[in-house]
Structure 1
Amino acid sequence: MTANPKPEIELTAHCACGAVSLSVGGRIRSMFMCSCEDCQRATGTGHSTVALARPADVTVTGPTASFARPAHSGATLTRWFCPSCGTPLYAQSSRAPDLLMLPVGLFGSSADWFAPNQLIFARSHHAWDALPDGLPQHDTYRDPETPR
């Protein structure tokens, strides 16, 4: 985990059917993993891998659909996806409207810049879900002193 903690990227990714593209051009604000139960359901795995970006740095082309639900924090979490193939595209929390949560797996082999700095919602992490050694873990959201 020695990569740039906030890399600048210029990438375009596509959903599985190719109907939607998502382009990112700018500095990534944070990179982390999340083991909350919502992320587990959304990914079908033990955690999500997330990069935060400013909405101004992200362009989505093509049709999208969304699903909004209340999160345990009381915020509303909205996830956008391709309405044809269901590929997750991004998410946004009402508690951080100035950031988009990008699923790093969307970028495939072009995601070598990703270096998570923490696991949030470790309280629902499963022992079978392997994590990088030494990754700081927080029971819920990150501690205020932890750098993004």
Structure 2
Amino acid sequence: MGAPYSGRCACGAVTAEIRGEPAAVRQCWCAQCRKIAAGSPTTNAMFATADVIISGELADTAYVAASGNTLTQSFCPRCGTPVMGRSSARPQFRTLRLGFLDEPHGLAPRMAIWTAEAPDWAVIDPALEQHPGQPPAPPPAS
């Protein structure tokens, strides 16, 4: 698999075309992400903003995260499917939810972040690179 990638929400009102490869694919165990993922981590692919074309109406909610950055979460206002997040610290990236991307995409997490906030029952793959909090910024996507 590889670029281009596509995505769509559960009702089909929001779609995406992604023209490049992700800079990172990771799980986030922070408390805010676990709220939007029903208790589990979010699993996300970070793409260069210029590579992501979203069609359809999005609804947004924003908050200041534990990192101190403002995070904006976007979702379909019709069906509620989480679509992506973006950080004030990294405007060059859009972080798309793997569940929003059309299968088969072949993407899998290589890193688990904010593991210090994971619940006691969390099972984190020991093969993943792990960060207890905010990781360093990924390099630009190739």
Output the CA distance in 2 between the equivalents of 1:104 and 1:139.
22
**Contact persistence 2:13–2:76 (CA under 8 A):** yes
Output the CA distance in 2 between the equivalents of 1:134 and 1:12.
28
Residue 141 of structure 1 aligns with an amino acid whose one-letter code is: Q
The counterpart of 2:112, out of the listed 107, 119, 125, is 119
Unaligned runs of 5+ in 1: 1-6
Task: Name segments (4+ residues, structure 1) moved above 3 Å.
Answer: none
Query: 3-state DSSP class of the match of 1:26?
Result: coil
**Contact persistence 1:12–1:22 (CA under 8 A):** yes
The counterpart of 2:89, out of the listed 83, 92, 95, is 95
The counterpart of 1:11, out of the listed 5, 13, 29, is 5
For 1:1-148, list aligned pairs within 5 A: 8-111=2-105, 113-142=106-135
Residue 107 of structure 2 aligns with an amino acid whose one-letter code is: F
Residue 57 of structure 1 aligns with an amino acid whose one-letter code is: D
Following TM superposition, by how much is the alpha carbon of 1:8 offset from its aligned partner in structure 2, in angstroms? 4.2
Distance 1:21 1:143, change over 3 A: closer
**Contact persistence 1:77–1:91 (CA under 8 A):** yes
Identity level (%) = 31
Output the CA distance in 1 between the equivalents of 2:72 and 2:18.
19
